[in-house]
Each structure stands twice: as C-alpha cells, then as structure tokens.
Structure 1
Amino acid sequence: MEDNSIVALLERHGVRPTANRILIVKALAAGRHPLSMRDLEIEIQSIDKSNIFRALTLFRERHMVHAVEDGDGATRYELCWSEDEDSDEDEHMHFFCEVCHRTFCLYDRHVPDVSLPEGYRVSSVNCLVKGVCPACGRKRKC
C-alpha cells in the first residue's frame, strides 16, 4: 500500500497521518493474516510498544482496524476497509487453525446478524471458527 493511499485512509477516518501511524498501517496492510501486538513490534522495531498500542486503540475507535480474538487468547489486528469512522461494513469471519495456530480471514463469510433482547446494545461481534486449515489437513494425511 502506497503512502498516499495510507494518508487518504487515515484522513477518511479522521486520524491525523503521522509517520508512526503510516508505518503501522503499512505493516497491517502487508500482513497476510491478522497481526498481534508482538508481530507488529517485530515488524516495526523503530516504534515502541506503547506507541503501537495507542495507535491501534485510536484505529479501533475510528473503525480503521478490526480486533480479532484468536483461538490462543491473543488479540490480532487487521485493517478495516470500511468507508467511514462510524461503521464496519466489512466485518467477516475468521478461522483459527488448532495445529499451526494461525488466524485466517474468511473475507467471503460475513458475520451473521445478532439479535439481542431489548435493552442490550452491540459494540462489536467477533466470529471465530476453530479447526484445521487446508495446509495442516494435507500434512496430516501424509
């Protein structure tokens, strides 16, 4: 993802484009799967953990990232491709492989609507399916 696209994404969500925030978005965009805080720390060694955490918190508030609770109890982050800071129209399901412990995005599987009793308000929905990914399934057959 190019810097001008990242700046446009940040501005569309009402986030001031600083050098650190641009680096964090670049790392998230380059990730092939949702990234943990530790993944981001390793990827971006020039930014300390507290600055990464503050940026991710801001990105979550502005609907710029999804926080995915994976099957190992960690939180992973991925870019949200929604068009504004007030909604997440691109929420999708995730798959956690119990063998390789990777979390995969299932972009074509949308999170089902959740109907709650009166008085309850939804702030987010996390839909995680656990099992064995295709690569690990092939290894087990051999």
Structure 2
Amino acid sequence: MKHIEEELRAKDIKPTAMRILVLKFLKGQEGAVSLADIENSFDQSDRVTIYRTVKTFESKGLLHSITANNVTRYALCSPNCSADNHRDTHLHFICKQCKKTICLTQVAIPTIEIPAGFELSEIEVVAQGICEQCKA
C-alpha cells in the first residue's frame, strides 16, 4: 500500500482512500476497463467520486482512455507519461468475443504528418478481432 501512495504522490495526486482502492484495482487488471467495471468492483461506492478519481488519474498522466464502439475504457499509462505529455501512442486491440481491450505497447503508431496550421492533440488506433484466449 505504501508503494501505491508513493506512486500517487509522484504524479502529484493526493492519496485518498478511494484513489488508493481504484489504483490497486487498475493494477490488478490485464486490460483496459470501463468506468462501469470500476464501479461494479466496489460494493458501496459513489459513482461521482470514482468518475472524478479516473479523470484525475487521466489528467495527471496515470491513465489513458481508449474509446471504441461508443465505450470508453481506461488503462494505466507507461511510467514516462506526464500530465503534459501522454506517451501512450500504441495500438489497442479489442476482442469482438469477450470485449476485452488490450494495450499492445510493442506496436507503436507511426508519426503522422498533418497539414500546416493543424494542431494534433491525440491519435487513437484500434484493432478488432479475437484474442488469444477466446480463439483457444
């Protein structure tokens, strides 16, 4: 638990009880999870508090979001992400069968040339198919 508190402080996040619980939950996940998944993991939780916790984590570079099929899921960022610079530009794989979203960090997104005068704020690339577990 001390390690989780230190990790939150390193991202300039005050380690409240709910923030510690949410981060502990996220660290135990294999892939990205939705807000509903987080809410459902706690017997008694305030939806607004969990939402604010997730948004705080995202704004401080602890989480990144993946939106596909009108569902937003969240995954932990790589350690070198910061509030100013998310460095999680990688492929996300969504299994059509089990609906799990997996960060494929080994597959980097190529540099995208955009026209002069445009300002790029984020890139999202999603691949869909059947995951290894469902295929077996």
TM-score range, shorter chain: 0.7 to 0.9
Q: After TM superposition, list the pairs within 5 Å mapping 1:68-83 onto structure 2.
A: 68-70=66-68, 72-83=69-80
Task: Give, in angstroms, the shift of residue 121 of structure 1.
Answer: 1.9
2:40 paired residue number:
42
Runs of 4+ in 1 over 4 A off after TM superposition: none
Going from structure 1 to structure 2, the CA distance change for 1:31 and 1:62 (only over 3 Å counts) comes to: same
Count of matched residue positions in the alignment of Structure 1 and Structure 2: 135
2:114 paired residue number:
116
CA contact (8 A) 1:11 1:17 kept: yes
CA contact (8 A) 1:36 1:76 kept: yes
Amino acid across the alignment from 1:66: H
CA deviations on 1:115-139 (whole Å, 9 max, x unpaired) are: 211222222221111122233334x
Task: Give, in angstroms, the shift of residue 88 of structure 1.
Answer: 2.2
* 1:32 paired to 2:9: no
Q: Distance in 2 between matches of 1:86 and 1:118?
A: 22
CA contact (8 A) 1:65 1:79 kept: yes
CA contact (8 A) 2:64 2:88 kept: no
Q: Distance in 2 between matches of 1:118 and 1:26?
A: 43
- RMSD, matched Cα: 1.7
Task: Give, in angstroms, the shift of residue 59 of structure 1.
Answer: 1.3
CA deviations on 1:57-103 (whole Å, 9 max, x unpaired) are: 11111111010113x32101111123333222343211111222221
Q: Distance in 2 between matches of 1:30 and 1:15?
A: 20
Aligned-residue sequence identity (percent) comes to 30
1:64 paired residue number:
62
Match of 1:128 among 116, 126, 129: 126
105-114 or 36-45, larger mean C-alpha shift: 105-114
